[in-house]
Amino acid sequence: MVSNKKIYSVAALVLALGLSACNDGDSNATVTDSTETPASPAAQLTVTQAGRFQVSPFAFDEGAAEILAHDALLNRLFVVNSSARTVDVLDISDVDNVMKLDSIDATAEGASANSVAVFGQTVAVAIEADDKQAPGKVVFYNTTDFSKVGEATVGALPDMVTFTPDGSRVLVANEGEPSDDYDNDPQGTVSVIDVSSGFDNAPVTEIGFTAFNDQADDLRARGVRIFGPGASVAQDFEPEYITVSADGSLAYVSLQENNAIAVIDLATLTVTAIQPLGYKDHSIAGQGIDPSNEDGFNVRSVPVLGMYQPDTIHVFEQGGTRYLLTANEGDSRDYDGFSEEADVKDLTLDPTVFPNAAALQEDDQLGDLKVTDTLGDTDGDGDYDALYVFGARSFSVRQTDTGALVFDSGDALEQITGARYGDGFNADNTDNEGDDRSDNKGPEPEAIAYGEVAGRAYAFIGLERMSGFVVYDITDVNAPSLVTYINNRDLTVDADSGNAGDLGPESIVFIPAADSPDGQTALVAVGNEVSGSTTLYRLSVE
């Protein structure tokens, strides 16, 4: 299917914001006239919607287009389609006319395909077992005829798969989620599959976290969340996403629920560091949130702390220094056997810290705001001295050696979407009610990609709930600047009609100009899990 082309630039945005967001806790927001294009280099990037493919028959909110992988040799996209338990193969040779070629059937291999990666003539698909707590597998297919060329057993719930830059190894983030009753909590691990000699019977090394089991107290003191009932460190850590340095020496692994990053030395295949990510102070101007579904667009400073809890991460280098991009989505543990979620109105707040507790616990204030009940009782007296929300509603740039924060976008993502949609902002990705996710992670920045166009560096951040993606120029990592916000969602159309545009971006892939079909124009591909659509965008500098 081909949708109508749309061109987005700063000058064309409905929003009239030129936001340069928080660095080290400070906010610096300016307003530009929406009829003029700012003269900054960032404003020169133009994003043009090209082709779009939507699964047919329409599969609403069934994960029909989740994780994407680009095949530069054959000009294809491999798209995880959870609703059909397949990996769909899309031809993007003509970027304005995206067509489905075939599907890789994963139904015989396990319960569900979760992730996909491509290198050379091989596509790797991560597949969870029918018993979610049992070992999963990675299955390898030929990219031309989709024949199976091998498989490897990996850890429980393989949630993300990626090749190293030289293609010699495949890394798998095995999340190891517990059973719903929490009686079975497998260890979270990272599998390293050596495919240098082929894909049939490739050796697998399982990297776990048992070496940290006796360091639980120290890790907690440093800010790493270890809180599952009866869980060891190795059980509690749940690898979510992996990114590998350009030289293939180090892997960085997001431990989302644990609010930390693990660093793996790929020469020794050992975990060398666990980096806590700290907390964001939402009481600081420029770092606020909209905490209530009762008041429309109303971002403000509130006395709560945010756990960054990134989902997608991406390592990149500038000037010989390595940095990490993080999409600070947030995630909670919410199972029948254990749940950490609580509404602020259901907690007892310390009267000294919160002298206005009764007012704060009204629904139009913090009452319905989702927080964790595992943190905040700092003196152990049974009431809460601090409130911690899931996610930071932002994207960040961090140093890779220490995990230290270089830049955070503050409250810019909510400000940007609020300026565009008013009280319709913070809508869920399954309906158009508006302001129904403010009390729970807001826009949920989940996907992130890094790319360079015409000598400048950009970050592309997908907003899972409000949908669409935000583009920032990060050529200066200390002062990223907003380029544009792209969202073809139509809030006037029922979300489940199949005509509301793209809903629920789950992954974003940057395709450099040299790897694009015409060899000249960089692209961005977005997989939207709720609308089951995959959409391409051209990137150009004018």
Can you give the pLDDT at residue 413? Answer: 98
d(CA 309, CA 274): 14
Q: How many CA atoms lie within 13 A of 202 on its CB side?
A: 28
pLDDT, tens digit (0-9, with 9 covering 90-100), for 252-279: 999 999 999 999 999 999 999 999 999 9
Residue 44, pLDDT score? 83
Backbone angles phi, psi at 424, to 5 degrees: -80, 0
Residue 108 lies inside a defined structural domain of this protein:
no
426 dihedral zone (left: phi>0; alpha: psi -120 to 50; beta): left
Distance (Å, rounded) from C-alpha 419 to C-alpha 262? 36
The predicted pLDDT at position 132 comes to 97
Full domain range(s) for residue 520 = 7-61+84-96+219-331+391-541
SS3 360: helix
pLDDT value, residue 28: 29
| CB-count exposure of residue 362 (10 Å: 0-12, 13-18, 19+) | middle
- The verdict on residue 536 lying in a domain is yes
Residue 324 falls inside a structural domain: yes
Integer Cα distance of 442 and 465 in angstroms: 7
Strand positions, DSSP E, 208-289: 239-244, 250-255, 260-265, 270-276, 279-281
Phi then psi for 325, rounded to 5 degrees? -90, 135
Identify the pLDDT of residue 542: 78
CA distance 191 to 520: 36
Alpha helices in 227-375 (DSSP H): 233-236, 357-360
Long-range contacts of 56-59 (CB under 8 A, 24+ apart): 56/1, 58/498, 58/532, 59/83, 59/84, 59/532
Nearest to 156 by CA among 124, 190, 201, 202: 190
Residues 78 and 87 sit within 8 Å (Cβ to Cβ): yes
The per-residue pLDDT for range 290-342, each reduced to its tens digit, is: 999 999 999 999 999 999 999 999 999 999 999 999 999 999 999 999 999 99
321 near 445, Cβ under 8 Å?
no
482 falls within a domain: yes
Domain tally, the chain: 1
Q: Is residue 336 part of a domain?
A: no
Is residue 182 in a domain? no
For tokens 């005829």, what's the residue?
145
| Nearest partner of 464 among 315, 342, 310, judged by Cα | 310
Q: Show the low-confidence residues of the chain (pLDDT under 50).
A: 1-43
Predicted TM-score (pTM) of the model is: 0.93
Amino acid at 442: G
User: Is residue 441 a part of any domain in this protein?
Assistant: yes
pLDDT of residue 539: 98
CATH of the domain at 451: 2.120.10
Query: Is residue 513 assigned to a domain?
Result: yes
